[in-house]
């Protein structure tokens, strides 16, 4: 629990209120306003939650000024370099890095949960053949609650654990199936002899007609992309999962809600939007035109893959992602990638431009991820599903933490009402 040793004083309408100030293990102090409405009959106003801590959490910490991201205290660059995705999943879910036996047991369990109920194949076939994989994923993940009845009781710790395993294990299968369905190819079953990222690449790119061998270096790059996206504290989709879960909804329904929120171009959809923007810019000489549009208040255009609510110095994930982009393109022998040239030049120009400097707008994780995914062979429509499958562990860890928190309450924000006050109904003939 966060400590309380200080207080803040609020003076309102001649009355003084003492508000407890909670001290976190890292980050700014938090003024506890839970009793403010009961005591002072006022609400606080903070659209977009720019200054509001919605929960207490010990999973992920971001210092936006330092460009620091920690999973359970471990810096993201160390995890990206030295760890791997399933170990990171264990860490996020359980709070500590696993020992050798714990890791082997966890990997064994995840691997044995990767298949989906065979009847789900029929469910997929109900979608229009050219559905966006995110549309399919929102539906299929929500429908998991119709297939896995024995892990729906949120009050049973064992069922919560099984639901978590199922979600982490099956999301790659579901994302790959959504992709295969969208391009009219047969579904590929998961293989227990392959690692998590390797298995995902195999399910996406192999076909029954010929053998397919996953390049280990590409599997490693894929695994790193999963790790970089695994959690990001109380972002929009995670807050959506928590809010849905606060009413007692089952975990599959909550994760489906998170996927829906992630889809938006201001959030997880930015990786698709960013690559489309880089392609639209096309050549380096067009960059100034797009920079000018991004700065124009009357033009809704924004530089996708730029800016972040929390990072105001640099996004540490973008740094690792940029290195990965160079490695992957090198490995694939792509030396004259025009999109990468445009991205690098755009980054260089924007970082020197006073508009972006003053507003502290830097490339975020999505700026380079699309370039890597495209080089690996993924169409843009798969970028956000890959983000979703990577973030599932973060969502489910945050959901579990919330359910296990004795102070958890249904999320129910208040509002600043500016509509009509009470008025009498007027018959339609008189309006």
SS3 409: coil
Any contact of residue 312 with ligand CMC (CB under 6 A)? Answer: no
Given 231, 232, 308, 315, which residue is catalytic? 308
Q: Which stretch binds ligand CMC (CB under 6 A): 56-64, 182-190, 307-315, 407-415?
A: 307-315
Question: Which residue in 109, 279, 302, 312 binds ligand CMC (CB under 6 A)?
Answer: 302
Q: Cβ 319 to ligand CMC, closest distance in Å?
A: 14
Beta partners for residue 8, in sequence order: 19
51-90: contacts with ligand CMC (CB under 6 A)? none
Question: Which residue in 365, 372, 373, 396 binds ligand CMC (CB under 6 A)?
Answer: 365
Would you say 308 or 322 has its CB closer to ligand CMC?
308
Binding mask 228-267 for ligand CMC (x = CB under 6 A): ----x--x------------------------------xx
219: left (phi over 0), alpha (psi -120 to 50) or beta: alpha
Question: Which residue in 167, 303, 325, 343 binds ligand CMC (CB under 6 A)?
Answer: 303
Q: Cβ 267 to ligand CMC, closest distance in Å?
A: 4
Would you say 160 or 317 has its CB closer to ligand CMC?
317
Given 223, 231, 315, 366, which residue is catalytic? 366
308 among known catalytic residues: yes
Q: Cβ 398 to ligand CMC, closest distance in Å?
A: 14
Any contact of residue 270 with ligand CMC (CB under 6 A)? Answer: yes
Phi then psi for 44, rounded to 5 degrees?
A: -105, 155
Q: What are the angstrom distances between the C-alpha of 8 and each of 18, 33, 176? A: 6, 10, 51
Q: Which stretch binds ligand CMC (CB under 6 A): 32-40, 157-165, 301-309, 340-348?
A: 301-309
Number of residues that bind ligand CMC (CB under 6 A): 20
Any contact of residue 294 with ligand CMC (CB under 6 A)? Answer: yes
Would you say 102 or 353 has its CB closer to ligand CMC?
353
**Nearest-CA neighbor of 388 among 308, 268, 270, 245?**
268
Cα separation, 337 vs 334, whole angstroms? 6
Q: Cβ 50 to ligand CMC, closest distance in Å?
A: 7
Cα separation, 27 vs 85, whole angstroms? 26
Would you say 223 or 366 has its CB closer to ligand CMC?
366
13 among known catalytic residues: no
112-171: contacts with ligand CMC (CB under 6 A)? none
Question: What would the 3-class secondary structure string for the chain be?
Answer: CCEEEEEEEEEECCEEEEEEEEECCCCCCEECCCCHHHHHCCCCCCHHHCCCCCCCCCCEEEECCCCEEEECCEEHHHHHHHCCHHHHHHHHHHCCCCCHHHHHHHHHHHHCCCCCCCHHHHHHCCCCCCCCHHHHHHHHHHHHHHHCHHHCCCCCHHHHHHHHHHHHHHHHHHHHHHHHHHCCCCCCCCCCCCCHHHHHHHHHHCECCECCCCCHHHHHHHHHHHHHHCCCCCCHHHHHHHHHHHCCCCHHHHHHHHHHHHCCCCCCCHHHHHHHHHHHHCCHHHHHHHHHHHHCCCCCCCCCCECCCCCCCCCHHHHHHHHHHHHHHHHCCCCCCHHHHHHHHHHHHHHHCHHHHHCCCCECCHHHHHHHHHHHCCCHHHHHHHHHHHHHHHHHHHHHHHHCCCCCCCCCCCCCCCCCCCCCCCCHHHC
Question: Which residue in 309, 327, 351, 408 binds ligand CMC (CB under 6 A)?
Answer: 309
Q: Which stretch binds ligand CMC (CB under 6 A): 24-32, 153-161, 181-189, 364-372?
A: 364-372
Beta partners for residue 18, in sequence order: 9
Question: Which residue in 132, 308, 322, 400 binds ligand CMC (CB under 6 A)?
Answer: 308
Would you say 299 or 404 has its CB closer to ligand CMC?
299
Any contact of residue 268 with ligand CMC (CB under 6 A)? Answer: yes
Q: Cβ 266 to ligand CMC, closest distance in Å?
A: 4
Length of the chain: 431
Any contact of residue 366 with ligand CMC (CB under 6 A)? Answer: yes
344-363: contacts with ligand CMC (CB under 6 A)? 359, 361
For ligand CMC, the nearest residue by Cβ is: 307
Would you say 205 or 306 has its CB closer to ligand CMC?
306
Would you say 117 or 309 has its CB closer to ligand CMC?
309
Any contact of residue 307 with ligand CMC (CB under 6 A)? Answer: yes
List contacts with ligand CMC (CB under 6 A).
Answer: 232, 235, 266-268, 270, 294, 302-309, 359, 361, 364-366
Question: Which residues belong to the active site?
Answer: 308, 366
């Amino acid at each position: 629990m966060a400590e309380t040793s200080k207080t803040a004083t609020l003076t309102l309408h001649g009355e003084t209120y003492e508000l407890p100030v909670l001290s976190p293990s890292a980050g700014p102090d938090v003024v506890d306003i839970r009793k403010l409405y009961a005591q002072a009959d006022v609400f606080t106003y903070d659209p977009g939650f720019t200054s509001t801590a919605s929960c207490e959490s010990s999973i992920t910490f971001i210092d936006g000024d330092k460009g620091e991201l920690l999973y359970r205290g471990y810096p993201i660059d160390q995890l990206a370099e030295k760890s791997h995705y399933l170990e990171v999943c264990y860490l996020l879910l359980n709070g500590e890095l696993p020992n050798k036996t714990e890791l082997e047991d966890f990997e064994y369990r995840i691997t044995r949960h990767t298949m989906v109920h065979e009847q789900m194949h029929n469910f997929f076939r109900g979608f229009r053949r050219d559905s966006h994989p995110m549309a399919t994923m929102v539906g299929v993940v929500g429908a998991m609650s119709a297939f896995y009845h024995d892990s729906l009781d949120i009050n049973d710790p064992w069922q919560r654990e099984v639901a978590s395993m199922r979600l982490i294990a099956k999301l790659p299968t579901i994302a790959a199936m959504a992709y295969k369905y969208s391009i009219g190819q047969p579904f590929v079953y998961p293989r227990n002899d392959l690692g998590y990222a390797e298995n995902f690449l195999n399910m996406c790119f192999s076909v029954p007609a010929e053998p397919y061998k996953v390049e280990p270096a590409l599997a490693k790059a894929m695994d790193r992309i999963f790790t970089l996206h695994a959690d990001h504290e109380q972002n929009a989709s995670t807050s959506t999962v928590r809010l849905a879960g606060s009413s007692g909804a089952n975990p599959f329904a909550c994760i489906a809600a998170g996927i829906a929120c992630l889809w938006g171009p201001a959030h997880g959809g930015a990786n698709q939007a960013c690559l489309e923007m880089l392609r639209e810019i096309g050549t380096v000489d067009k960059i100034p035109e797009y920079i000018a549009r991004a700065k124009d208040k009357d033009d809704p255009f924004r530089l996708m893959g730029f800016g972040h609510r929390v990072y105001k110095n640099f996004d540490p994930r973008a740094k690792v992602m940029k290195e990965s982009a160079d490695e992957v393109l090198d490995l694939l022998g792509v030396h004259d990638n025009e999109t990468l040239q445009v991205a690098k030049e755009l980054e260089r120009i924007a970082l020197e431009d006073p508009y972006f400097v003053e507003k502290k707008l830097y490339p975020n994780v999505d700026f380079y991820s699309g370039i890597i995914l495209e080089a690996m062979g993924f169409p843009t429509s798969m970028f956000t599903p890959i983000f979703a499958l990577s973030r599932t562990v973060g969502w489910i860890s945050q959901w579990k933490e919330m359910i296990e928190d004795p102070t958890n309450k249904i999320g129910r924000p208040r509002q600043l009402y500016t509509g009509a006050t009470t008025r009498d109904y007027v018959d339609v003939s008189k309006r």
